[in-house]
Amino acid sequence: MKALASDFDGTLYFEDGVREHDQKAILNFQKHHLFGLCTGRPFIGVQHYIKDIIQPDFYIVSSGACILDKDGQVLYEQTLSKDTMQAIYQQYHHQAEVSIQADFRIYTLLKDSKIPIVQTYVETLDDVGSEHIFGLSINAKNEQQAKQWTQDLNETYDDIVAFQNKEYIDIVKKGCSKGAAIQKLKELLHLDYVYGIGDSYNDIPMLESADCSFTFHDSPESVQKKATYVVSSINEAIQMIEGQ
């Protein structure tokens, strides 16, 4: 069995939504293979945007901290401690918006949150669920600041790993990544071959781990160097896969 794992923002989903030619290509691909998401967003952060458009066969969410089947049932998860979550939040929330992915929700302590995803407002960190803290996201001012903070986080904390996604930073338990999740997915679903496609820095582990990978012509050069092929769309990538 073959599968294609796709990043969400800037790969499958754009400002104008899921592009029609990509949607059609995915639906045809799913007649014989599996298609799923591999994203830094949590499950709730993608459901609303693809409802009635795409029905993934699997979900790798929260930068690999959680894998779900097509029905949203958890197949695998790795969580952060509440102490680590609180320490990182306290360090950065005065400088940037920090959201917390926990219990399949996105929590924010800002009433005027600017992150365009459905979020749950709480007044204190104690109101954040503690059973399943999958990660945190920090919205830096720009890519340069995000790059520096990502480096600082990885040097400061022993139990987490931070990934830069343009001006965002996604933080999950150490050992988690989109790449590690691809390997776990192959084991869980007994897959023979996995393709990956993504557009940004946090997709590099997926591009390296996939048996064959794709990125775009406008992706950063460091990302293009890690991909097997450079394409213009998911549609083009699927055409290449079907032609192999």
DSSP characters over 207-225:
HHHSSEEEEETTS-HHHHT
Do 91 and 155 fall within a single domain? yes
* pLDDT value at residue 63: 97
**What's the structural domain count of the chain?**
2
* pLDDT value at residue 122: 87
The backbone torsions φ and ψ at residue 149, rounded to the nearest 5 degrees and listed phi first, read -65, -35
HSE, CB side, 13 Å, CA atoms: give it for residue 99: 30
* pLDDT value at residue 213: 98
pTM of structure: 0.94
Q: DSSP string of 36-54? A: EEE-SS-THHHHHHHTTT-
Domain boundary among 173, 192, 227: 173
CATH, residue 88: 3.30.1240.10
Rounded to 10 deg, the angle between the 234-243 and 20-29 helix axes is: 30
* pLDDT value at residue 120: 84
Task: Look up residue 13 and give its two tokens.
Answer: 């989903």
From first CA to last CA, the distance across the chain in angstroms is: 15
**pLDDT digit of tens for each residue in the chain (244 aa)?**
999 999 999 999 999 999 999 999 999 999 999 999 999 999 988 998 999 999 999 999 999 999 999 999 999 999 999 999 999 999 999 999 999 999 888 898 887 766 656 678 888 888 887 779 999 999 999 999 999 999 999 999 999 999 999 999 999 999 999 999 999 999 999 999 999 999 999 999 999 999 999 999 999 999 999 999 999 999 999 999 998 7
Do 159 and 89 fall within a single domain? yes
Dist CA 241 CA 128 (whole Å):
43
Do 29 and 47 fall within a single domain? yes
Dist CA 180 CA 21 (whole Å):
30
Do 161 and 87 fall within a single domain? yes
Dist CA 170 CA 159 (whole Å):
14
Do 168 and 119 fall within a single domain? yes
